Amino acid sequence: MADTFQIIKYEGDNSTFIWKSPIEDFNTGTQLIVHESQEAVFFMNGQALDLFGPGRYTLETQNIPMIRKLLNKQTNDQTPFHCEVYFINKTEQMSIKWGTDSYVEFMDPRKNYPLKFGASGEMSLRVSDSRKLLVKLVGTESSLDQAGLTQKFRAFLMVKVKPYLAQVMQKSEFSIFEIDSHLGELSEALHKQLIPDFADYGLSLERFFVTTIKRPDGDKGFEVYKDLQIRQYADVANALLKQQVDIINQQTNAQKTIIESAAIAKKREQEGYSYVTERMYDVAEKVAQNEGIGNFSSAGIGIGMMGGVAGGMGAVVAGMATSALDPIMSQSAANQSNIPNPAGAGVPPTIDLKPEEPSPASKTADPDDDMAVFRQKLEKLKMMKEMGIISDEEFNEEKKKLLSSL
């Protein structure tokens, strides 16, 4: 009577997908207990009759206590009413390892260059259709755990994963050297493509991760491709760096010029003169050093310059023009350089290039000497125009006066 009614249940580990109860050919009235996250399939005479969810059930079979022994005598004490129960674990099985058994080859679309790489990672599975999984994978086996499932799906994964990896890489916008920062995108793309393939076996692919990429370092073709990539980015980086350095140098030089200009301006302010005054002294010095210009003319320039300091810019320009063009300025400058002029102080002199009445001695002068004087005056006019002391209009006007004096 102890074996008349039995209790069938499974309380094993979660690494098992399917487990077959060793209690078979049980009598009608046997109790079936199914835990949460489990399902049980009742087979009778080789057919999957019922699917049971969590709870307790009374199984009805054709094996009737007391009389089954009489019936089994005709079949050598074996019941002709075979029955069995399979338990299916519905929990999500995580950390199931996968990996490619060889390199995945693809054509890099950016360089049209053949490349290859290996990949591995983890996935998690859950039984979605117990009947389909039993019929397609388990059959009459007594159990199916993670190791057994991985072994069964090894060839399946290689046939599916490798083409999907190649397709994703050919369509991707990142290179093989940037793939580590795009593992999430790669994993998501593969996950979507593999879901229907696992569903055909009654399995739900809950998660799929690519965790490791193996590049063929040392391979001759890959090293050539890697060198091209490094040179491309290195040259661009060096050009950008040089451009930034040049900009910094230009900014530094500009700031240095500003600081030096401010220092010079402060120095002039402390010493009591301006930039215009300094430039006038420079012009006077250059005129005095010019070849073919006499010492007396230079002295006249000096007088004009001193007058400009006292009377302003107009006086300077007028004094320089007078010293350059007056044919007898050298003599008057020598006689009047030390004579004060309080009545005319600060009043700019006018430029007067009108030729004076020649003295009796000059009327008999050599024409070549007149031409030499003309050339000297014209040279001074040109120099004054180039230095910005007189304008082009003033130069042309004074030039006409010189020509009319010949």
Could you tell me which residues come within 8 angstroms of residue 370 by beta carbon, excluding any fewer than 6 positions away? 406
Q: Which two tokens stand for residue 115?
A: 């490349």
Separation of alpha carbons 169 and 161, rounded Å: 12
Asked if 106 and 115 count as a contact pair (C-beta separation under 8 A), the reply is yes
Residue 366 or 181, more confident: 181
DSSP conformational letter for 140? T
Question: Average pLDDT in the 88-95 region?
Answer: 92
Residue 324 or 228, more confident: 228
Separation of alpha carbons 222 and 348, rounded Å: 85
Asked if 294 and 330 count as a contact pair (C-beta separation under 8 A), the reply is yes
**Lowest mean pLDDT: which of 105-109, 119-123, 156-160, 370-374?**
370-374
DSSP conformational letter for 375? H
Token pair 């209790």: residue? 7
Token pair 């072994």: residue? 151
Neighbours of 389 (CB within 10 A): 21
The bridge status of strand 47-52 relative to strand 93-99 is unpaired
For 155-171, the DSSP string reads: HHHHHHHHHHHHHHHHH
Residues making up the chain, counted from first to last? 406
**Lowest mean pLDDT: which of 28-32, 85-89, 242-246, 336-340?**
336-340
End-to-end CA distance of the chain: 157
Asked if 71 and 124 count as a contact pair (C-beta separation under 8 A), the reply is no
Return the closest-CA partner of residue 172 out of 192, 196, 189, 159: 189
Element (H, E) at 99: strand 93-99
Separation of alpha carbons 322 and 333, rounded Å: 11
Could you tell me which residues come within 8 angstroms of residue 115 by beta carbon, excluding any fewer than 6 positions away? 105, 106, 107, 108, 176, 222, 225
Is it the case that residue 69 has pLDDT exceeding 50? yes
Query: What is the greatest pairwise CA distance in the chain?
Result: 175
The pLDDT value given to residue 73: 52
The pLDDT value given to residue 186: 92
Q: Residue 269: what are its φ and ψ, rounded to 5°?
A: -60, -40
Give the pLDDT band of residue 322 (cuts 50, 70, 90): very low
The CA dihedral of 246, 249, 255, 257, to the nearest 10 degrees, is: -100
pTM, two decimal places = 0.52
For 192-231, the DSSP string reads: HHHHHHHHTTTEEEEEEEEEEEE--TT-HHHHHHHHHHHH
Separation of alpha carbons 219 and 116, rounded Å: 10
**Lowest mean pLDDT: which of 165-174, 229-238, 306-315?**
306-315
Q: Which two tokens stand for residue 332?
A: 């008057």
